[in-house]
Structure 1
Amino acid sequence: GFDGSEVVYVDNFQPTETSTQPPVESCSDHQVVLTLTTDNYGSETSWTLKNSQSAVLFSGQGYESATTVEKSMCLADGDYQFTIQDEYGDGICCGSGAGSYTLMEGAKTLASGAEFAKSET
């Protein structure tokens, strides 16, 4: 038996060359992907995705200029409102670069655009 005077070390450490990748996040509902290409003033672009109670679920801002970013979102069944804004009011195309956005679920386009003034919903 153990009388408290013994010290037992158990070391199962096995160094390995491979790194463990974080688990891939799975989406059991609706996988929606926003692809946003900013114009020459990416910092002016922002967007929000709200649920039917007007709570912001996802948002983005502070982008670099003339850059494409993707944001993947997992959404349950329901109604949502996507709004993209340009702080200056000249949209994201075509006077200051060729920006655009596309919101897709699989191969289905839910929303897309480029030419708008201050915002588009």
Structure 2
Amino acid sequence: MKKIFSFILLFAALFSFNRCENNIKGTNDLNYVTFEAPSIEVGVDLNGSTTSDVKVYTTQKTGSDRTFTINVLTDASTADPGAYEVPASVTVPANSNVGTFTVGISDVNIGENGSTLVLDIQSQEGVFKGDPTTITITQICPYNEVILNMNFDSYPEESYWDLTDADGNVVASVPAGTYADMEQARKKFCLTDGTYTFTMRDAYGDGIAPPGGYSLSFNGTVIASGDEFGTEDATTFTVP
């Protein structure tokens, strides 16, 4: 048994460049199935949806279809159940060692930090299976992505900000106290073409003491920054 498991580890390392060929040499007595990779990245447009094909591979080809059950490991996943659709199984066709299933992804509570979906192949008698795969889901901004980075001083609860459009409508904002007990914070804005005004504010009126401060960037270029700005620091900018 120990010899078999040692072989499985070796096989996992070699499988990536053998998986589309015929039966792997020396594996005639090993029935093994695994996901294409331990991790997969999927991006989805803000408020949009997408699909992603996921492959599974087996060591052997047989003369009939083989079906494997796919389970979502909900305790290990952070994705909202409403954000994904996963089929109950995947079929490896006859005379093949590759099966494909499609995962549907929607921007439901994904958030700026993304979320994860962990999938596993259900065990079945006579079949060794590989490790689960983790699908990392991230939001993609289809417009103009502007990024705010903040490094706070000893009073992060004093920092707050707002972003308004050309007509003065508030696009996004946070009140004072939002960043209590935080050392750093990051916020992404997905903005349509136009002119905006970003205003960094400090409730006490002395800004953010160095080495702390804030910066607003677009396409890798800093378009606003400051530290000891007093009560507020406003910058008007246009994207793209």
Please tell me the TM-score bracket, short chain as reference.
0.7 to 0.9
Distance 1:109 1:80 in 2: 15
> Is the contact made by 1:38 and 1:64 (CA closer than 8 Å) also made in structure 2?
no
Deviations 1:17-59 (A, max 9, x none): 5742574211121111000111111111100011011111111
> Which residue number in structure 2 is paired with residue 117 of structure 1?
230
Query: How far, CA to CA, are the matches of 1:37 and 1:16 in structure 2?
Result: 38
Give aligned pairs, total.
107
Answer yes or no: is the 8 Å Cα contact 1:47–1:60 preserved in 2.
yes
Cα deviations by residue, 1:60-85 (Å, 9 ceiling, x for unpaired): 24213461111011001100000011
The structure-2 alpha-carbon separation of the partners of 1:14 and 1:79, relative to structure 1 and needing over 3 Å to count, comes to same
Structure whose residues are more often helix by fraction: 2
**Alignment check: 8 A CA contact 1:46 1:86 kept:** yes
1:49 aligns with 2:105: no
Structure 2: stretches of 5+ with no match in the other structure = 1-68, 78-116, 118-134, 235-240
**What does 1:59-74 align with in structure 2 at a 5 Å threshold?**
59-61=173-175, 62-65=178-181, 67-74=183-190
Question: Aligned partners of 1:16 and 1:65: how far apart in 2?
Answer: 35
Aligned counterpart, 1:15: 71
TM-score, length-scaled by structure 1: 0.77
Q: CA deviation at 1:14?
A: 4.3
Match of 2:203 among 68, 73, 87: 87
Correspondence for 2:219: 106
- Identical counterparts, % of pairs: 32
What is the letter of the counterpart of residue 48 of structure 1? D
Matched, 1:77 2:190: no
Structure possessing the higher radius of gyration over alpha carbons = 2
Question: RMSD over aligned Cα, in angstroms?
Answer: 2.2
Query: Unmatched 5+ residue regions in structure 1?
Result: 1-12
Query: CA separation in 2, counterparts of 1:53 and 1:108?
Result: 25
What is the TM-score with the length of structure 2 in the denominator? 0.41
Q: 1:90, 1:73 → 2: CA distance?
A: 26
Structure 1 segments of 4+ aligned residues over 4 angstroms from their partners:
16-19
Change (3 A) 1:29 1:90: same
- The structure whose RCO (Cα within 8 Å, separation 6+) is larger is 1
1:45 and 1:87 in contact (8 A); partners too: yes
